[in-house]
Structure 1
């Protein structure tokens, strides 16, 4: 059930209503039949909500529903054809200025043909409507009119509940597993002869196996004990080659695109040689993933005597997998949450503030009954919490959820029938369709929300009062799925750009989809066999090109002639005669990492296509007749390096809303008339280029609907007047903007004399950028490769506060000639992230960076919302002026500061005085920095490759300190809260004296083999006494490419000392 009947019927009705209003439709003589179609659908719609519910489990209903959907799909295709013909007739009519009736009489065969097809559809619907009486459907209230209060919490950022861990039990389990993985005796207690020890986490789906494994994986002790950590999501549809390639990449190796196991296994062995590895194999359904793929290369890579060797954590639902992998017994079974922990987890989903928490506590009795139905499963509780977020904080609403009549549905995943089904039923019809469609997307491929929303719009799932609102409506749908815990954001992406769907939720959705959709990869023989025997409307297929499955034949896909969505990823075997033409009903075509150049010329036959994404392919361009595909709304050619120009006919695609040329070679291939694409909302990789007295920037002027815009090649613009024609400042919907020039920097971050911009070039680019002032609504701005001596005037103090008042993220990289940072950024009220990367001409950051207008706004804080400041690659930067002044308030909420590759001599005193929220400080390759002192709020400090650093003092809250190659550091004191210290310098011959003056709980030391040997002597040597007061010490030395072959492991209480250096005899000569 990829479409929900109620929503689908509403979509068709809207098409019918729109068509009925067309005067030309009446002239075709089919208006009566079209009106009749709308009436019949209106009658059916009264009980479609009940039919939707019963369709999930009642086989007798499923056949009737299938017939109804087939009829509606056919109706939509016919209405599309009518729409295309009417549009063409209207254009021709305008051109010839003749009588409309006479014009229509020129093509009576078309009118007859369409009328006959619509009458046939009406007869089918009449029959379906008559037979509906046999099922006694109930006239439920239409979901489309169902209103609910908006969610109480803001969902624009990462949800506070995301990835939440509650309860003492998971902390105890984490400690227990960490001890098991780091206990050397586990090797000898294992029945295995291999050095690699397997630990199994077993439990039903949704119980928290992955959460527990992630807690262990990220534990500080695990980070210290293992040279390398790798996380592999194996899943039910794993593939040998893909699994091995992923392991190689994560191990730091290069698989070079090899497709032979015999070649890849030694590559993995070499990448891991001698390293102590922790491998997590998450969601394993078959022991073959270990036995046939990973076990041998890992065992071959193990370091002899390497402190207990490598470890593997396997999470699985099936104890037989753990047994076959010879995991240590007893296996770790994840228990269900107890009542109190379950209640705490539920509260974290719905509580937004302290006052809210008090109100929720009043509902604890109802909440505990709801929890009881979740059977202690964390995922079920989170999903139920997402449902409660959509309700009022009232006893009535919570009891309504508790007393809902929904119960287990035949064929659903047993452990989550109640919670997921109840949450699903609470979705609006449109959101149900979006949720189900999301479950088809491959788990290991990144799909950004803009692409996902584009798919939903193309399928007709997103409705708005006008076409202007479609993207925003789709974005709100996406946010609501996050708020309901049906999808979960990946933390490494800002603004919830990419999400994942839990396997249990995905299984539920695909069960609801039934036989209307198929998601499979080439190795799933049973599923692939269905391509020749069943009819699908939506298909997601991965051809991974492995030894076991080989490449899929494109001809197999061509048998699916009713498809509306086709997502094809990986290589397919394309033979002469293959084409896109069999997919005549297609709305969505997404092809990625597949060589389909031979098929491109047949694209124009996909008359209904709305979404066209061909990514990382060998295609050389779009066909010239692309202009015939009048319904196209989205085109993405990302990563298609062979594409050099756009066809002239693309300007006829009046419905186009999204175009991405990122990663293509379209540098001069924008056709004149591009400005006619007035519906464009998102445009990426747009090249600025000149052609005589014409500039491509002119074409941007009329595009007033743009939300996202990325321009490259601005160094080609010959005059500021052309930049003015882009009219960026008038684009009142623009929120994302990239302005780019080609880089002039070399690998060292410096400008070579040969590539240095002339004064004329600098002046020209300055005035061009001055005219590219963005509108005040921009929230994300990226400036790259800028060649000017000064940054644009609209970033200066006199105008920035107005011009960029809603800016949240600003990145500037490759500022080859820029001599100073703009003085207006400090006034930006919403700026959260500022990153400057590679600005070799900046030598000084002065007072103006923080207070350019101190006389006009003496009390205003500089950078009032800045949370993250990254200053990278300012290789000549020597001075930062920022004093301790009570009348200058700056960066009050700054949490992270990164300084990298500069010549700064000291941190400004104003940093410690004003940035009281600073928690993380990263200092990398700051050549002349002598001291880090008096930073009262810093909790985590990284000091890497700072050759002049001598002192770290007076950091009272510092808990975690990592020092890498700071050879002059002699003083470390005033760090009473220190918990962990990491020291790395393989040339270190003696322990620095400051080790005796600090008392961390953990010390991780990577040093020379000579120093390690001295430590290994224990009390009989001179070095061990410096660290014997520390509770845990992990010390290592390298041997060739193995950074941690030699080791000393020491625990003070209970006393433990272990090393693989014996009396110095193990030390090779010369060390």
Structure 2
């Protein structure tokens, strides 16, 4: 069957391509339908190889392939029938596998009646093919074309969350995505002689539709015509340079030089990639990029040395700083859907293959679901998938709507739970966390109730490779008037041990610690081993007994840091920038991306030491906020270094008498401070 489909789909695609070239879409009266059929067929043939392998052990995939085969045969029958009618009833030779048709397709449409019938059948074929392709996303097939390449060591048979270039037309809703796509196509195809390779970025929050937009651009006919080669790679977080080079090299047509199970190193892969793109005008899509290293340090040299002028890199990333570090000349921000477009997207998830007319009866509930999903496409599609399993009754839809209000957690089975808040750290509640491998958002509060550190081992946080946000909380020990209460020494040691066992995974992006009442914050925060290399945001609040901040300067992705209500800290020095066990570190690698820094209500803080060894630290900081402290002066080293500082906010700094020499400030805010000089 694989041979039949592999031969037939390209053949049918070529026939449709010829039809498009001859502008038969105008004769048929179905503008765009022929091109849509061509693109759909191309996408389907690209995943056939993986589908044929998976169907051996997966009955659902087998059923999918059989349905695709049925549609293909029906399509062939349609073409044969029309050619017979055009030839006066003489049946032409069977056109597959791989045999050209005996009658030019153009001659089949001179009769307006035949053209009208053909148009209706092509629309129906597109509907059925769209249904088949839409369900293909459930199986996460790996594309065999250069358009979409799997990373090595990521077996095709596993659901690893990687994206592909295959576009689902049901996901394209509203005029905004077309406007955005047109703007990006223009940015990618406009002549620019500054460099032979130029980067364009798409950024926005997770689930907002960056990948869908990039797929739309990738499939655009103008893009297809402009570039000699189009390569799509999902980068994600945990990928090494050899995997990335291999993936792009295969996309560029160079994979046959290396076996898939071999382990070539960069020294052989980089030249192979350069040869693969040599003299070609390439569009490279890097989807879901978390660090500029993927381009700046791994792929860039091969492309700049080999690719022809006009080559473009389209990167999607949640972090605008990544696009900027890649020197993107144009950055497009993806915004949330409009409510009406959100409703259209929700409808598209549930109406395909079913009667669409009655869906409008549920619009009020549907709009409520869209609102609860915050108009985020990924959340809407998730809920839409659940609605497909429900009956079309108000009761079922209202039940799903209520579920959507609970962080979407209760709409999936427990082992796929994405968000969870556990209040009260009992042995049972923390042990059960160990089985929840898909969590991306986790709140643990009342951790003072965990009486032994062994309890804190139960959640196995380091094994949660999807965890992005973690909040560890104790009940605050700060009473009225900022007085510290319940100051029991035994409890302090206990909470230190508990927090030490709650070490998060490498993939963590946001960390919040509230109410920690130990003397020393967890050692894993100060690790110099790149343990938290993706951590972007840290908030430490109500750390009542901490006398020293942890060393955080090694966190290469950190761009936001807030220390709030830490009354026991009196001094901040080198220990804040690097751990004592780190003897050497590039000064520019100390807080290299930190942009916003806040010290709020450090009531006992008197001194901030900034020596010469820190003269290049925090090179990108632009906002500094200091409130309610006893700081006496700003170190000259600090004043000299923070050349990027644009915003300085100082409030209730009772001992600070002068704010001087911050020459590049654009915003200076002073509140409730004693009389001082500011210049």
Q: TM-score, normalised by structure 1?
A: 0.35
Instruction: Return closer, same or farther for 1:827/1:603 CA change in 2, 3 Å cut-off.
Output: closer
| Matches of 1:476 and 1:703, distance apart in 2 | 25
Counterpart of 2:633? 906
Alpha-carbon distance, 1:893 to partner:
4.0
Q: Name 1:929's counterpart in structure 2.
A: 656
Q: How far 1:801 sits from its partner (Å)? A: 0.9
Please show how residues 630-709 of structure 1 align to structure 2 within 5 Å: 637-638=405-406, 650-651=413-414, 656=416, 659=417, 683-687=418-422, 689=424, 694-701=427-434, 708-709=440-441
Asked if residue 422 in structure 1 is aligned to residue 222 in structure 2, the reply is yes
1:25-48 CA distances to partner (integer Å, 9 max, x unpaired)? 89x9x899669538749979999x
Task: Work out whether 1:68 is the aligned partner of 2:125.
Answer: yes
**Alpha-carbon distance, 1:942 to partner:** 1.6
Q: What is the CA distance between 1:559 and its match in structure 2?
A: 0.5
Corresponding residue for 1:945?
Answer: 671
Following the alignment from structure 2 to structure 1, what is the Cα–Cα distance between the partners of residues 335 and 40?
26
Q: Contact (CA 8 Å) 2:538, 2:562: kept in 1 or not? A: yes
1:105 counterpart residue number: none
Q: Secondary structure at the match of 1:839?
A: coil
Deviation (angstroms), 1:789: 3.1
CA–CA distance in structure 2, aligned partners of residues 571 and 704 of structure 1: 26
Q: Any conservation in 1 of the 2:185–2:222 contact (CA below 8 Å)?
A: no
Aligned to 1:605, which of 364, 369, 390?
390
Q: Deviations over 1:657-709 (max 9, x none)?
A: xx3xxxxxxxxxxxxxxxxxxxxxxx333426555xx4333334455676x34
Corresponding residue for 2:276? Answer: none
Matched residue count: 477
Which residue of structure 2 lines up, in the alignment, with residue 834 of structure 1?
Answer: 561
User: Within 2, Cα distance between the matches of 1:74 and 1:484?
Assistant: 31
Alignment of 1:24-63 (within 5 A): 36-37=69-70, 40=73, 63=120
User: Which structure would you say has the larger Rg?
Assistant: 1
Residues 844 and 702 of structure 1, relative CA distance in 2, 3 Å threshold: same
- The residue that corresponds to 1:857 in the other structure is 584
Tell me, in whole angstroms, the C-alpha distance in 2 between the residues paired with 1:791 and 1:588.
Answer: 38
Over 3 Å counting, the alpha-carbon distance change for 1:774 and 1:613 in structure 2 is farther
**Deviations 1:96-117 (CA, angstroms, capped at 9, x unpaired):** xxxxxxxxxxxxxxxxxxxxxx
Partner deviation per Cα, 1:477-522 (whole Å, 9 max, x = no partner): 9x99xx999999998999999723899xx9xxxxxxxxxxx8488x
Q: 1:865, 1:36 → 2: CA distance?
A: 55
Instruction: Return the structure number with greater relative CO, CA threshold 8 A, min gap 6.
Output: 2
1:744 to 456, 476, 489: 476
SS at match of 2:528: helix
Return the offset for 1:5: 2.1
| Residues 1:728 and 2:461 are matched in the alignment | yes
Mapping 1:763-842, distance limit 5 Å: 763-796=493-526, 800-802=527-529, 804=531, 806-842=533-569
Indicate if the aligned counterparts of 2:507 and 2:532 stay in contact, CA closer than 8 A: yes
- In the alignment, the residues of structure 1 paired with residue 148 and residue 58 of structure 2 have an alpha-carbon distance, to the nearest angstrom, of 38
Q: Is the 8 A contact 1:806 1:829 kept in 2?
A: yes
Question: 1:572-615 CA deviation, whole Å, 9 max, x = no partner?
Answer: 9xxxxxxxxxxxxx975359xxxxxxxx9x986369xxxx9999
CA–CA distance in structure 2, aligned partners of residues 489 and 774 of structure 1: 21
Aligned to 1:475: 288
Say which SS state the counterpart of residue 768 (structure 1) adopts.
helix
Q: Which has the higher helix share?
A: 2
CA distance in 2, matches of 1:801, 1:700: 28
Give the Cα separation in 2 of the matches to 1:144 and 1:392: 34
Structure 1 residue runs without a partner (length 5+): 84-142, 150-235, 238-282, 284-376, 398-416, 435-448, 451-463, 467-471, 507-517, 522-526, 541-555, 573-585, 592-599, 623-635, 660-682, 954-1071
* 2:280 counterpart residue number: none
Q: Distance in 2 between matches of 1:394 and 1:785?
A: 53
Q: Does the 8 Å CA contact 1:894/1:917 hold for their aligned counterparts? A: yes
Q: CA deviation at 1:794?
A: 1.9
Change beyond 3 A, Cα 1:737–1:909: same
The alignment partner of 2:288 has SS state of helix
- After superposition, the CA RMSD in angstroms is 6.5
Cα distance in 1, alignment partners of residues 196 and 653 from structure 2: 57
Q: Distance in 2 between matches of 1:386 and 1:801?
A: 40
Offset of residue 768 of structure 1: 1.1
Whole-Å Cα distance in 1 between the matches of residues 333 and 121 of structure 2? 37
Name the residue aligned to 1:90: none
Change (3 A) 1:587 1:912: closer
| 1:737-790 deviation line (CA, Å, top 9, x unaligned) | 41321552779894664xx56544433321111012234454543333434332
TM-score by length of 2: 0.52
Cα offset, 1:812, TM superposition:
1.8
Secondary structure at 1:559's aligned position in 2?
helix
